[in-house]
Every structure is written in C-alpha cells, then in structure tokens.
Amino acid sequence: MKTVILVLGASGQIGTELTEKLRQLYGNNNIIASDIREGSLELMTSGPFEKIDATDKEAILQVIQKYGVTQVYLLAAMLSATAEKMPQKAWNLNMNSLLAVLDLAKEKHIEKIYWPSSIAVFGPTTPKENTPQKTVMEPSTVYGISKVSGEFWCNYYHDKFGVDVRSLRYPGIISWKTKPGGGTTDYAVDIYFKALEDKKYECFLSENTTLPMMYMDDAVNATIQLMQADAKNLSIRNGYNLAAMSFTPKEIAAEIKKHIPDFEITYNPDFRQQIADSWPQTIDDSKARNDWNWEHKFDLKTMTEDILESLKNQ
C-alpha cells in the first residue's frame, strides 16, 4: 500500500520545509499540504493543497478519504510566545487538533501519526544540564502545558488503542526559508536576516542565555527518520528528546561576525527571557540515538555558513 501523507500546518516554519522534503521522497501528489492559510508559492504549486482548520475532525476526515491518506503529520500549533498572549485559543488549537487526529487513527482511518512535542515540556524544576529523557516536567508556559498534555494523550492512545503515534521534543528550530512564527527561540532565526539587512540586531534574550537549538535540515531529517523507523525499535511514544547544539546569543553573534565583521548586537530582554530561563540548556537524546540511530549533521559554525550563503543567493 503506497504512502499518502497529509501535513496539517504545512504553511508554518517546519511544515513548509518538511512538506518539500516529503514530496521529494514520496512524490508530489502523495503529500497533501494543508493549513488554515495559504503558504509559499512553491508549497502551493508543487502538489495538492487543502485549506483546513486542524481542529475540525470532519474536514480532516473528508480530505483523508478524498486522497486515501495513510499518515498524518500534525504540525499546526500556537507557539510559546504567541500562546502566552492567547492562552485559551492556544490550548484549544494545540489540544483539539491532536485529539481529532488521534481519534481518526483509533477509528482506523489512518495508520500512523506524527506530532511534535518540544523542550517547552520542561520547566524551572527540570535539570538544566543534559536533561534526561524521563525527568520532572512542570512547564511554566501555556505552550508547555499543552505539549505535556499532548504527550500523555499520545501515550494513552498508543497503550489503549494501539495507535502508531510518534513524536520528537524539538529544541529551537533555525531556518531561513520561512520567517519565525512566534517562538522564544526565534531570535536565532531573525538574527541572520537582520545581520544581512541592517548589520545590527537587538536581541530579546540576554547575551548568556544558553538554549538547545537545531538547524531545520536536521529537524526535518530526524522527523522523517523517526517515521520510517521500525515500530518495534521505538521505546518512546510520548516524545523523544532531540538535540544537536546549544549556544547563547553572544556565541551566535560572534559566529556571524566572522562573516560580517561590522555586525553589532544589543540586548533588550523582554517577557520571553522568563520563558527561556525555564528551559534546559543541554539535552540528553541518547534514546533517539540508540533506538533509531539519530545523528545530527550541523553545528553552529556549519549552520551559520549555510544560512548566510543561502540568504545571499536567494
């Protein structure tokens, strides 16, 4: 039976690049992009697109039946900084979309689900260094609360109903193809645009705020690798810890200055500083590396080179 994938939230930062990669792997017509809003020109023209509210179970089912969808990647979510401003709306989107898709799998309309968790599941009481796979999860943000709850729902549906749901706890994701979408780690995306456009950047986090980060190429590859892994090798259903690099705004600025010597950074921490301070600095992702051979390719140096080169050439 051929793989046909519906990507909910395909117009977002991760969705855009993940959809592109999936279309390369499985064929354009076998990857159905969907979102509540239209996406990039390439996303809209390279394969099927359906306008869907990710909380509307019936609308999702209609698209599944229309295309013979076998897997759903649920990326629609309200991210950390935006969710703090609209808690109820964030909770409704983040929870109801997941429950809708889990129910569709339970009812045997689809075979497999991908749903991303996040380092936001951790909180001020979580060990900051080498954060373990199983540890204290007492998040202090609406986004984190929704992700912890989502992880428990994924476990529940897998244990009770045999739903094949898979998840990764993404660190901060850095890309250049799509502008940031309201997350606390967005500075590490925005800084590259501002470095090239203005030669200066005002950072909303303090200079020594260490956070776990990952280049988009690695995040996309990890997602697909997990979904292609043999189910019998997977020991985690609520969300695998995932890591690549950790750095501070000061360190990313120093790396950029190697390429743009007159680049200047200033610091003006806002409400996002408190969110960042509640998150880990480094992550232990040995479970992912052992279970399905996860391996990252990019560090701060190689990522910076790739982003600046790509932005200059676009």
Catalytic residues: 143
Q: CA-to-CA distance for 167 and 59, rounded, in angstroms?
A: 23
Residue 38 main-chain phi, psi, to 5 deg: -70, 155
Q: Is 172 exposed, middle or buried (0-12, 13-18, 19+ CB in 10 A)?
A: buried
Mapping DSSP onto H, E and C, the string for 93-131 reads HHHHHHHHHHHHHHCCCCCEEECCEEHHHCCCCCCCCCE
Q: CA-to-CA distance for 229 and 133, rounded, in angstroms?
A: 19
What are the tokens at 65? 């039946």
DSSP E strand stretches across 112-230: 112-114, 117-118, 165-166, 168-170, 172-174, 200-203, 211-215
Q: Which residues contact 305 (CB under 8 A, 6 or more apart)?
A: 259
Strand order through the sheet with 245-247? 172-174, 211-215, 245-247
